[in-house]
A and B are shown apart, each in its own frame.
Chain A
Amino acid sequence: MKRMTQVIMGAVVVSITQAAWAASLITADGSSTVYPITEAVAEEFQKQHRDVRVTVGISGTGGGFKKFCASETDLSNASRPIKPSEVELCGKNGITYIELPVAFDGLAVMVNPSNTWATNMTVKELRTLWEPAAQGTITRWSQIRPDWPDKEIHLFGPGVDSGTYDYFTEAVVGRGGASRGDYTSSEDDNVLVQGVATDPLALGFFGVAYYEANKDRLQLVAIDDENPANGNGPILPTYEHVAQGTYQPLARPIFIYVNRKSAERAEIQAFVGFYLTQGRPLVKEVGYISLPDKAYELALARFEQRRGGSVFGGTGAQVGVKIETLLAQH
């Protein structure tokens, strides 16, 4: 017993002294949507910088900002721009930040492969289907388009806490967080995939990366925003369409936010620089869509000038914006 106590005490002393000369640490946290990109960048970055340690957590965009604004992290992953309440929180704690878009995420509307009728939908039809007033009244396919079958429609979508849900409702219904409540929701997108893949009358929406991994079990619905400026007719969320900005309004930019004080540190500068240059091919590798090169250059310039604030004015998600236009304006 005595010897065991000595061993434990010894281990404690050793570990505490070791902490004193640990390698420099970069901490990131936030959205689970952005996580795979930051993870991939961290993995590659650490191969080149053996003395730097990068950690990435998943506490959601909102949870990530809470930690970021309490100065607990250097970087925050965000699947939407910072919201007014978060701007206020950061301001109260004297935290300023640099907002950097890192990729596009396309939201795909999907049906079961045995569905022969719903190959395309307009945004207006999506709104009829998903707006709060549709609850309990729009329950059959024929109510959306008269020539569609008079069969029940079964809806699947992410839970109301997710950034994906916020963006979809903002883009389709016109108000973030407003939708019908009578749909099957899950925080786990794989559950939604399973639902749509096994139900012939299903319609669901989730990140396009989940379609890419389950192509044989799902079928995409082309979306028409009826705005010729974004391409004519219904458009599929292919890599090109999202990258060119014609898959509107269901393509959104996703971000990292960098604490401006942390940005003074050499390892953070190296990491962010790596993210916006060598990180570009990694974005595609993990299932997202790279921004145009111009946007990465503008973002990098923004970081190098340590330009703070949000190009979205701190008002949260915005729909149908060209990211390079926004970056160039500011």
Chain B
Amino acid sequence: MPDRHPSKIVERLFKLMALGALVIALGTLTALLVDALLDGGGRLNWQFLTSFPSRKPEQAGIASALVGTIYLMILTAACALPIGVGAALYLEEYVGKHWLARVIEVNIANLAGVPSIIYGLLGLELFVRMMGLGRSLLAGALTMALLVLPIVIIATREALRTVPSSIREASYALGASRWQTIWHQVLPLALPGILTGSILALSRAIGEAAPLITMGALTYIAFLPDSLLAPFTALPIQIFNWVSRPQPGFHANAAAGIVVLLAVLLIMNGLAVYVRQRAQKRLYL
């Protein structure tokens, strides 16, 4: 005889709903991926990865956009991580529960929700014009760094909070200074969480076209950026351009570009998982 107890029915219903949510989320993603693969699969080859944009869709490639995106991500991480982690450390480890920290926390959370195009406008005025960096890779990376900074700070603070205070106290008890405690105890324990949050932040940045177009990233470039001050383009911009062209050949290129973008994202996330696991293993051996 089946169990008719109401709590069991609720239990089942909830499980079904949760499963439904998963199916919807995964289904949408699969549909998008399959669609992009069907449209652009034929264009995915070495020639596509190593060619520059062209007016002929079958000769066009994403070399400049792919390299631009990779450089941009490395530079963005190099700018945003030290500043973001530093700011979070100060707020969490030095200021503590002061009311000012609360005010700053709310404001940072707000900044994380500001539309990305606003950061593009800020980047255009501050980096491109005032600092005279021009429409360069460096200006683009700094703009992207501003965009991801709030997320890095929030993620780092969360990670720092998961470090038990008993560890800090034990460290102090052994005579360690605050700096020694942070460097040798707190940071290594928080590192996996910091990395996860930072990679999520960079994953947001990698798909952004609006702030880059606003600050002046270009669309047609037939050379690879060879300096920090070189002009550049990025994958989302190239994809956006191809999608809006009339000829169907360019639409296939756009789909192939989307697959490449997803692959880069996957590699980035895979790297993060690997680094995180290595960091964790070292701690609990």
Interface of A with B (CB < 8 Å)?
A: 8, 12, 15-16, 18-19, 22, 25, 27, 29, 32, 35-36, 38-40, 42-43, 46, 53-59, 67, 70, 72, 188-190, 193, 207, 209-210, 212-214, 282, 285-287
What separation, in Å, do the CA atoms of A217 and B76 have in the docked complex? Answer: 44
Judge whether A8 and B219 touch: CB under 8 Å: no
Q: Does B230 contact A (CB under 8 A)?
A: yes
Which of A8, A22, A42, A286 contacts B222, CB < 8 Å? A42
Q: Which of A36, A46, A56, A67 contacts B216 (CB 8 A)?
A: A67
Contact in complex: A56, B219 (CB < 8 Å): yes
Which of A40, A46, A190, A287: most chain B CB closer than 10 A? A190
Q: Contact at B219–A286, with CB atoms within 8 Å? A: no
What count of chain B residues pass the 8 Å CB interface test?
Answer: 30
B229 close to chain A: CB less than 8 A: yes
If A12-B228, A213-B246, A287-B246 touch, whether A59 touches B216 (CB-CB below 8 Å) is yes
A213 B218 Cβ-Cβ under 8 A? no
Main secondary structure of the interface of B (DSSP, over half): loop
A-B contacts besides A8-B78, A19-B229, A213-B247, 4 pairs, CB < 8 Å: A16-B227, A55-B220, A58-B241, A70-B129
Assess whether A53 is in contact with B223, with CB atoms less than 8 Å apart.
yes
- Contact of A46 (CB < 8 Å), options: B55, B222, B231, B251: B222
Any A CB within 8 A of the CB of B166: no
Quick one: which of B218, B226, B227 contacts A56, CB cutoff 8 A? B218
Within 8 A of A (CB), among B211-254: 213, 216-223, 226-231, 241, 243-248, 251
Query: Does B53 sit at the interface, judged by CB under 8 A?
Result: yes
Nearest B residue to A191 via CB reads B244
- The docked-state distance in angstroms from the alpha carbon of A40 to that of B59 is 12
A189 surroundings in chain B (CB, below 8 A): 244, 246
Is there an interface contact between B55 and A40, defined as CB atoms closer than 8 Å?
yes
- Whether A27 contacts B220 by the Cβ 8 Å rule is no
Tell whether, in the assembled complex, residue B227 and residue A19 are in contact, meaning their CB atoms are under 8 Å apart: yes
Residues B60-78 near A (CB distance < 8 A) = 78
Q: Is the CB of B222 within 8 A of A212?
A: no
Q: Which A residue's beta carbon lies closest to that of B54?
A: A43
Interface pairs (12), CB distance under 8 Å:
A35-B241, A36-B55, A39-B220, A46-B222, A53-B223, A55-B220, A55-B221, A57-B219, A58-B219, A209-B246, A213-B246, A213-B247
Known contacts A35-B219, A59-B216, A282-B55; is-contact A27 B246 (Cβ 8 Å): no
